[in-house]
Amino acid sequence: MAEKVPAASTKESVSPPPPQPIPYLPATVLQNSLLCLAPEPAHLAKAMAVSKRWRSTVHCEKTFGRVFRQAYLGPPPVLGLVSNSKGTPFFTPAAGTRVVGLTPPEEAVSHDEGGRAVKYVYDARHGRVLMDSSDEKALIVWNPLSGGRDIIEMPPDYFLGDGFGGAVICDADHAAGDDCHAARYRVVFAYGGRLAGRRCRTLACVYSSSTKTWGPVASMDGYVSFNFKPTAVLNKAVYWLITKSTGILQLDLETNTLTLFTTPVDLPDFVIFPMADGRLGYAGMMGPFVRVFAVHEIHDSGLATWVDVTTIHLDAMRPDFDEASASEPDSGAEFDEEMVVAALLLARRIAPKEGNIRSIIPPCRACVTDTDNQEYKFAVIRPRVVGFLENPCSVLVQNELGTYMVFIESNEHKRLSQSIHFTTVYPYTSFHTSGMMGMFVRVFIIDETHDNGVATWMDISTIHLDVMRLDFDEVSAS
């Protein structure tokens, strides 16, 4: 008699099928998806946190970086404002950018008697910042996003004084989508100097990152003191305002010659800037308006003729602005420029001074009583032009509501920050660059604490976050 076998034993145990590996997005699909991101670096940083594969895609300059910059048909985004003003942060992020922690390099920071950090910025352009060293014996070209910096010795015949101005010029092919952070650059520096016989001269020199040397020195009789306003670069020439805003110094980069010419009006708080049509602009406060001029012709005698371009009414930035009042600068009578200037000069004589800054109290509302600026709910501030932006052509205006970018052609405005501490600002603009996105954790320990509250720290470790991140292959294998 045959032995019965339990039915259960005749069935073979069936193991579940292995899990399907997580499929990759095709390379073209991934790249095209990332190209749809906004140009601010924060968005690409989030994308790189997904996996090593995404990060390597973003890091590839040839297949992504250049294409990304070409695909974005517009100027680099404004990431924030760099300022030399005492008592203000070195870097103030622009609204909505979420860029933080851009601390200047140690070589560029000294401390005053009160222990406060002292730094000086000459220029910020195309992702680089030109700064003075703490001992004023060198220039520093700093890339805030990548952390790189070049230290450049001062040019020939330089001596310490109050006569100096600088600019950093990017030599990248922007139309082709070149990465400004990796491109060659030039530093233009103008300064007072003493040549043979102890004669005082105004000198200028150009440094090339390609040769790492200074070029021939351009010179001009006499000594000028610079206004510490932003530098304008236009049509292969560099322009600086000199003290009291009564003149403009020009360095022609092709002929290597210096020229001094006059401004249209003698008032403080004006800035020079390159206009979209290729002319040099000159903008500042005249009463409750921003007046914009453009140079028409520069004569051999040093006299320049200027034309009036536009008048911008600042009340357009206020919530309770009546659009009807914008049609005419003075809705009740014909606009009399001489009367406004006379009133400004009178106000300057009787008004209290703001530190060492000459003060003009404009005949317009200056007291905040109820605004959406919660940081400065009640404040009294004098509107002023504090800087400019090359592209799009605009001036930066500060009033009691914050700091605004005002477009010259359309007179439209956009608020960049609620901060109202600035006297001069340098907009920091940049696209993503393949060299800026290294993801690290820096570990510091305190080394010494001083009586004035300043502490020195020691860098002890750098941890790369890729060791914590699983790649798609590792997830599939698990």
Q: Which two tokens stand for residue 203?
A: 């000198």
What is the pLDDT averaged over residues 184-197? 80
Q: What does the pLDDT read at residue 169?
A: 94
Q: How far apart are CA 146 and CA 436, in angstroms?
A: 4
Residue 90 or residue 296, greater confidence = 296
Residue 426 or residue 62, greater confidence = 426
3-state secondary structure 351-377: CCCECCECCCCCCCCCECCCCCCHHHC
Give the least confident one: 11-25, 127-141, 180-194. Answer: 11-25
Q: What does the pLDDT read at residue 37?
A: 81
Residue 396 — very low, low, confident or very high, per pLDDT cuts 50/70/90?
A: very high
Which range scores top for mean pLDDT: 272-286, 373-387, 416-430? 272-286
Residue 130 or residue 375, greater confidence = 130
**In the predicted structure, residue 29 carries a pLDDT above the cut 50:** yes
List of long-range contacts for 201-205, beta carbons under 8 Å, 24+ apart: 202/163, 202/249, 202/258, 203/155, 203/157, 203/158, 204/238, 204/251, 204/258, 205/155, 205/156
431-476 residue pLDDT tens: 765 544 444 444 555 666 766 555 666 654 444 443 333 333 443 3
Q: Which two tokens stand for residue 94?
A: 């622009």
Q: What does the pLDDT read at residue 197?
A: 58
Furthest-apart CA atoms within the chain: distance in Å: 130
Which range scores top for mean pLDDT: 97-111, 352-366, 380-394? 380-394
Residue at token pair 């010259």: 408
* % of the chain with per-residue pLDDT over 70: 66
**In the predicted structure, residue 392 carries a pLDDT above the cut 90:** no
Residue 401 — very low, low, confident or very high, per pLDDT cuts 50/70/90?
A: confident
What single-letter amino acid sits at 332? G
**In the predicted structure, residue 35 carries a pLDDT above the cut 70:** yes
User: Which residue in 75, 6, 160 sits closest to 429, CA to CA?
Assistant: 75
Quick one: CA dihedral 266, 269, 270, 271, positive or negative?
Answer: positive
**In the predicted structure, residue 423 carries a pLDDT above the cut 60:** yes
- Centre a 10 Å sphere on the Cβ of residue 22 and count the other Cβ atoms it contains: 9
What is the pLDDT averaged over residues 131-156? 87
**In the predicted structure, residue 282 carries a pLDDT above the cut 90:** yes
Q: What does the pLDDT read at residue 478?
A: 39
Residues of the chain with CATH 2.120.10: 76-323+365-429
Contact call for residues 316 and 325 (beta carbons, < 8 A): no
Q: What does the pLDDT read at residue 180?
A: 80
User: Which residue in 276, 204, 184 sits closest to 234, CA to CA?
Assistant: 276
Mean pLDDT of the chain: 74
What is the pLDDT averaged over residues 305-325? 72
202-232 residue pLDDT tens: 889 999 999 999 999 998 888 888 888 899 9
Contact call for residues 329 and 313 (beta carbons, < 8 A): yes
Q: How far apart are CA 476 and CA 470, in angstroms?
A: 10
CA angle 351/356/358 to nearest 5° reads 40
- Taking the CA atoms of residue 308, residue 232, residue 427 and residue 170 in that order, the dihedral angle to the nearest 10 degrees is 140
Q: What does the pLDDT read at residue 461?
A: 46
Q: What does the pLDDT read at residue 213?
A: 95
DSSP category for residue 64: I
Contact call for residues 127 and 76 (beta carbons, < 8 A): yes
Which range scores top for mean pLDDT: 155-169, 235-249, 319-333? 235-249
What single-letter amino acid sits at 466? D
329-377 residue pLDDT tens: 443 444 455 555 554 454 444 444 443 333 333 333 333 334 445 544 4
Q: What does the pLDDT read at residue 196?
A: 56
What single string gives the DSSP state of each residue in 191-260?
EEEE-GGG-EEEEEEEEETTTTEE-PPEEEES---B--PPPEEETTEEEEEBGGG-EEEEEETTTTEEEE
Q: What does the pLDDT read at residue 92?
A: 85
Q: What does the pLDDT read at residue 115?
A: 63
**In the predicted structure, residue 56 carries a pLDDT above the cut 70:** yes
List of long-range contacts for 132-137, beta carbons under 8 Å, 24+ apart: 132/108, 133/107, 133/108, 134/107, 134/108, 134/109, 134/110, 135/110, 136/160
In CATH terms, the fold of domain 76-323+365-429 is Neuraminidase (2.120.10)
